[in-house]
Amino acid sequence: MSLISAVNISKHYQVGGSLVRAVSDVSFEIETGEFVAVIGRSGSGKSTLMSLLGLLETPDSGHYRLKGLEVAKLDRNRRAALRCREIGFVFQMSSLLPRSSALENVELSLAYAGVRRAERRRRARDALDRVGLSHRLDHWPYQLSGGEQQRVAIARAIVNEPALILADEPTGAVDSRTADGIMSLFEHLNGDDRTIIVVTHAADVARRTRRIITLNDGYLIADERVGPALPSTVAAPIGRVA
């Protein structure tokens, strides 16, 4: 069974007197362990598709299944619970809480999930170690570089061991060297058989993945496999990066 199955999903918005066809009749499947880029110019439907995949929106038509569950049949509370349990988000801006340490920021999603304090602290430490930040646990966001802040955000996304990581322009607000480090981290995480979808407008970022889905005006116009799946191995903790 595919992790993700999208069949003719569409999402349209009424803006003033105009109908915006953000996503139209898009179909694809994604298996566990894939590393996928979704690309397209501004207005192509990338962000709307991510919102659909991340259960932030439901399709107007078509069928979207995550781990075999038909999303449209779930009420808001069940979608929220599924999203909390199965999906980790990384955005262009790290969106860390400024008055919380790196460790406390990573713990936050576990607190929402009802994990007890001692356990969530242990798991948050492990997640920060996985992204190479075990030496920055008690630092405030303003004491971290842009790349380190994004790594904290990635640790926050993986701490609950989600089935799917959705990254929306994760390198868009950092320099090229830091972007390279972030993509290297995603490659290592994918090597642990994590399923990762990166939404990006940058061709060089997309080429670091194993499959590229291209959108244009809401339609899927290309779906290209650009490399073999990475072997499922346990990656070592990632080294420091700016």
User: Residues 49-94: pLDDT tens digits?
Assistant: 999 999 999 999 999 999 999 998 899 999 998 998 899 999 888 8
For the entire predicted model, the pTM comes to 0.89
Residue 227: what pLDDT?
Answer: 67
186, 152 in Cβ contact below 8 A? no
Q: How far apart are CA 109 and CA 69, in angstroms?
A: 22
Quick check: helix, strand or coil at residue 25?
strand
DSSP secondary structure code for residue 211 in this structure:
E
Residue 93: what pLDDT?
Answer: 82
In the predicted model, what is the mean pLDDT of residues 164-185? 88
Q: In angstroms, how far is CA 204 from the centroid of its own chain?
A: 18
Mean pLDDT for all residues in the chain: 89
Quick check: helix, strand or coil at residue 77?
helix
In the predicted model, what is the mean pLDDT of residues 208-214? 96
* Residue among 30, 58, 2, 28 at smallest CA distance from 197: 30
Residue 231 has pLDDT above 50, yes or no: no
In the predicted model, what is the mean pLDDT of residues 152-159? 93
Instruction: Give the ranges where 40-175 is alpha helix by DSSP (H).
Output: 46-53, 76-86, 102-112, 117-130, 146-158
Quick check: helix, strand or coil at residue 218?
coil
In the predicted model, what is the mean pLDDT of residues 197-212? 93
- Return the percentage of the chain with pLDDT > 90, whole number: 65
In the predicted model, what is the mean pLDDT of residues 24-48? 94
